[in-house]
Structure 1
């Protein structure tokens, strides 16, 4: 088997009470770690597997998508800056959306390192843009929203995709766990 990409992941404890922003930040880090936990111990080839016959989803494709989620919502929407997206190969879906092309040759290790950078960038932006959670930000997807909505939406994205990752991982090697 080829080299393992994501080594041992220790998920942080979540804050379940206290200041709202601390609860949100800890839950976001928990979901980030849970996603990586679903990828733990797998090789590049395993992260590229499409174990569900009726779906093109892969764990590596989800990792590419989540780096985009991090940069789009934190940098572009909350900070109002132009994010630097890694130039992954993409295609336009039948409904006009853009998605990551699974034939992209970028190594899983490079995607993983890019994902970790995106998460760290988001943590740095989080500290700068959450001083006024009622601040309205332009949002082309949902219309103008406040900072709270954006933070909740990022957690929603993670919750959805961690569920996908859970099913993919189980189909790859039988590993389960919450």
Structure 2
């Protein structure tokens, strides 16, 4: 980590290394954006067909499926939970989170447009929130959760799935590194 200028992600954004010091909100925001940039970087330069390549059987996991899944995660935690919006998932009106993983008929443009739109909404909601103590209701947990928890949860989700993305990308073209 450091103050480097970052790495191109192929989605119009730079992946910027989080600062080594700073306030809680600044650090959470920076680490979340770093992990968002890492996912985009893992997908950069690949064709739609490569992005749909599955991991090792029997798993159906793909890079494009991860992008779609993270669009649902961003939408759910920021818009539906913190902002209280009554909106369906992007790829399942029935609330099936697994539907996003099926990228068999998906393409880069659709997946990245949805993901980038949800990231933009998430950033707006976080910026406009009075503090990290703002809460929203998470129906699956039947509990109020804070924006702080949501940001930490998203960092956790991206970190887990970026590990998957490392293996997927390496299997496609040998590209390694974060």
Give distance in 1, aligned partners of 2:21 and 2:31. Answer: 11
Give distance in 2, aligned partners of 1:89 and 1:66. Answer: 17
Hey, what does 1:167 align to over in structure 2?
Answer: 167
CA deviations on 1:56-102 (whole Å, 9 max, x unpaired) are 1000100100001111101111111134643469996xxxx643252
Contact 2:43 2:169 in 1 (8 A): yes
Q: What SS class does the counterpart of residue 45 from structure 2 fall into?
A: coil
TM (norm. structure 2) is: 0.83
Hey, what does 1:86 align to over in structure 2?
Answer: 90
| Stretches of structure 1 lacking an aligned partner (at least 5 in a row) | 1-5
- Number of equivalenced pairs: 168
**Counterpart check, 1:144 vs 2:144:** yes
Correspondent of 1:48 among 52, 56, 63:
52
Displacement of 1:55 after TM fit? 1.2
Hey, what does 2:113 align to over in structure 1?
Answer: 113
Hey, what does 2:43 align to over in structure 1?
Answer: 39
Hey, what does 1:3 align to over in structure 2?
Answer: none
Displacement of 1:109 after TM fit? 1.4
| Stretches of structure 2 lacking an aligned partner (at least 5 in a row) | 1-9
CA deviations on 1:23-67 (whole Å, 9 max, x unpaired) are 111111110000111111100000000131231100010010000
Displacement of 1:116 after TM fit? 1.1
Change (3 A) 1:120 1:135: closer
Q: What SS class does the counterpart of residue 144 from structure 1 fall into?
A: strand
Q: CA RMSD in A?
A: 2.4
Hey, what does 1:21 align to over in structure 2?
Answer: 25
Higher relative contact order (CA 8 A, sep 6+): 1
